[in-house]
């Protein structure tokens, strides 16, 4: 190398990287007596990753790409930051090539073998210093690029996490929307079925009630033509209108009559037909001809007829009441909110659960609350889901308390409390999730989508729902605005629906 260029006289590391590389190339060219230049076409691979390199390539003109193949895909790590000395890191580490190197543009190269480089380095201290400087700057450049890649990876991971969160949220909203659509379809179908059932039942039930009244009146008229008319009319009316007495009261009356008659069997027969003392029996039996046993047999027959009519009438009225409650319950065919009675909705729901309430004590602690603007059918779903869950928890027997009150902030509150085993603390945060169940996948007849739908309905009405639970006491507390949901809640509900 000519004495005009002596990099040892200046701080090499303070020079631009390009000047140092130019100095290294000039010094090598000088020491190796200007070796021939190589021309490489674009797309040609100079070396591949994991290849053993026996020299370095000095890039005089053009641009290369350093890449690795990951799962069959070509991933570029360096292009603009590749530098002009290729294979330098593998040489410094005495290892195989880390990357594959491919010509991106037409190249002009110097090919220097390890033997040539070693010989030149031993001859020239200047070359050694330049070589060390290039090596350090190359390592620094690669390290900087590694930091930049790490930053890009961090940013990509952050973006992916944000997008994943949005996807999960969107999927959850889609699942809720789908569940609501399924629920709406169920309610529409159930409404159509119930309307048909109510129509088909209403006429025969009404006819049954009228027939029962007619038979009762006809029997009383027929009794006027009989010798024991007074006794028959008395027993018929008594058995038709009287309510059954408790088992405890029956035992007390049997004991009293047994002492008067000295016959437990006779006392039991008299108690069954509603006769509570001996004087009453003698008064009724006095107008009936025949022996004492024949007179008691007739009184029993009249009582059975009256009781049968009472049972027919009572059952028909019960069916009529259930039909009316079913009509009220399926009020979702009117999607518009209107003033409704919360108490009536709860009572209708309880009536539909009557077959499961035989051994359940119901305590209604109803406060003075106004009608509220809401969708009756949707709120009936709320009462059904919560009361149904309470009955499931209590099993065959228990106590169910329903409390209502009006609040000072323009809302009403409904509390539904059961004395079941309670909800485990770890499950309370999850009970309003769409697919959460503690029934091991079992699906009972009903609305089927549980407390997630319940919370959705309450929220769309501008209300809140909370739950507290411990062994022996679980309470669901629902708060609803009297004047219906606010405008912002309505807009939010419409946006979610769309």
378 or 466, greater pLDDT:
466
| CA 129 to each of CA 12, 54, 420: distance values in angstroms, whole numbers, following the listed order | 8, 22, 85
Does the structure show a pLDDT above 70 at 192?
Answer: no
Q: What is the pLDDT of residues 107-155, one digit of tens each?
A: 999 888 888 888 888 988 888 888 888 777 777 777 787 788 788 888 9
The conformation of residue 3, written as its DSSP 8-state character, comes to T
Q: What is the distance between the alpha carbons of residues 299 and 288, in angstroms, rounded to a whole number?
A: 9
Return the C-alpha torsion angle 225, 228, 231, 232, nearest 10.
Answer: -50
Domains of the chain: 7-151 (2.60.120.10), 224-325 (no CATH), 333-497 (3.30.565.10)
Does the structure show a pLDDT above 90 at 299?
Answer: no
What pLDDT is attached to residue 293?
Answer: 78
Q: What is the pTM of this model?
A: 0.45
Whether 363 contacts 418, CB under 8 Å: no
Whether 404 contacts 412, CB under 8 Å: yes
Q: What is the pLDDT of residues 75-110, one digit of tens each?
A: 887 666 667 888 877 777 777 888 899 999 999 998
Rounded to the nearest 5 percent, the helix, strand and coil shares of the chain are 55, 15, 30
5-14 long-range contacts (CB < 8 A, ≥24 apart) are: 6/126, 7/126, 7/129, 7/130, 7/133, 8/125, 8/126, 8/129, 12/129, 12/130, 12/133, 13/133, 13/136, 13/137
Q: What is the distance between the alpha carbons of residues 180 and 449, in angstroms, rounded to a whole number?
A: 9
- Phi first, then psi: what are they for 102, rounded to 5°? -130, 145
Rg, the chain, Cα only = 47
Report residue 279's pLDDT band, with 50, 70 and 90 as the boundaries. Answer: confident
């Amino acid at each position: 190398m000519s004495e005009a260029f002596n990099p040892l006289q200046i701080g090499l590391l303070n020079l631009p990287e390009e000047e140092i590389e130019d100095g290294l190339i000039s010094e090598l060219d000088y020491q190796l007596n200007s070796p021939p230049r190589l021309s490489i076409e674009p797309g040609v691979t100079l070396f591949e990753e994991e290849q053993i390199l026996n020299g370095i390539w000095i890039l005089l003109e053009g641009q290369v790409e350093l890449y690795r193949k990951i799962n069959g895909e070509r991933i570029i790590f360096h292009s603009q930051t590749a530098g002009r000395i290729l294979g330098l890191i593998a040489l410094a580490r005495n290892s195989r090539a880390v990357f594959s190197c491919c010509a991106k543009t037409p190249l002009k190269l110097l090919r220097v073998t390890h033997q040539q480089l070693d010989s030149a380095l031993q001859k020239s201290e200047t070359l050694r210093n330049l070589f060390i400087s290039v090596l350090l700057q190359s390592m620094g450049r690669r390290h900087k690029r590694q930091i930049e890649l790490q930053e890009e990876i961090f940013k990509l991971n952050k973006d992916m996490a944000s997008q994943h969160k949005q996807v999960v949220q969107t999927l959850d909203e889609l699942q809720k929307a789908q569940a609501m659509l399924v629920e709406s379809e169920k309610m529409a179908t159930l409404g159509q079925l119930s309307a048909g059932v109510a129509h088909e039942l209403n006429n025969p039930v009404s006819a049954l009630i009228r027939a029962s009244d007619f038979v009762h009146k006809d029997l009383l008229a027929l009794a006027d033509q009989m010798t024991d008319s007074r006794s028959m009319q008395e027993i018929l009316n008594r058995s038709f209108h009287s309510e059954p007495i408790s088992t405890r009261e029956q035992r007390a009356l049997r004991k009293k009559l047994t002492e008067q008659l000295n016959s437990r069997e006779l006392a039991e027969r008299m108690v069954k037909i509603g006769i509570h003392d001996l004087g009453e029996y003698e008064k009724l039996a006095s107008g009936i001809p025949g022996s004492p046993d024949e007179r008691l047999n007739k009184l029993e027959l009249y009582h059975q007829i009256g009781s049968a009519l009472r049972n027919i009438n009572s059952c028909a009225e019960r069916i009529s009441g259930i039909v009316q409650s079913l009509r009220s319950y399926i009020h979702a065919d009117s999607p518009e909110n209107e003033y409704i009675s919360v108490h009536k909705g709860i009572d209708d729901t309880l009536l539909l659960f009557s077959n499961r309430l035989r051994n359940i004590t119901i305590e209604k602690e109803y406060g003075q609350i106004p009608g509220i603007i809401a969708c009756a059918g949707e709120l009936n779903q709320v009462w059904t889901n919560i009361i149904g869950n309470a009955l499931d928890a209590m099993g065959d027997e228990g106590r169910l308390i329903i409390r209502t009150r009006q609040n000072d902030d323009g809302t009403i509150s409904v509390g539904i409390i059961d004395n079941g085993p309670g909800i485990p603390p770890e499950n309370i945060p999850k009970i309003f999730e769409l697919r959460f169940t503690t029934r091991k996948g079992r699906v009972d007849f009903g609305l089927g989508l549980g407390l997630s739908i319940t919370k959705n309905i309450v929220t769309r009405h501008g209300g809140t729902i909370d739950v507290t639970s411990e062994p022996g006491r679980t309470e669901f507390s629902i708060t609803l605005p009297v004047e219906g949901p606010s405008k912002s809640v309505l807009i939010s509900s419409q946006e979610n629906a769309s």
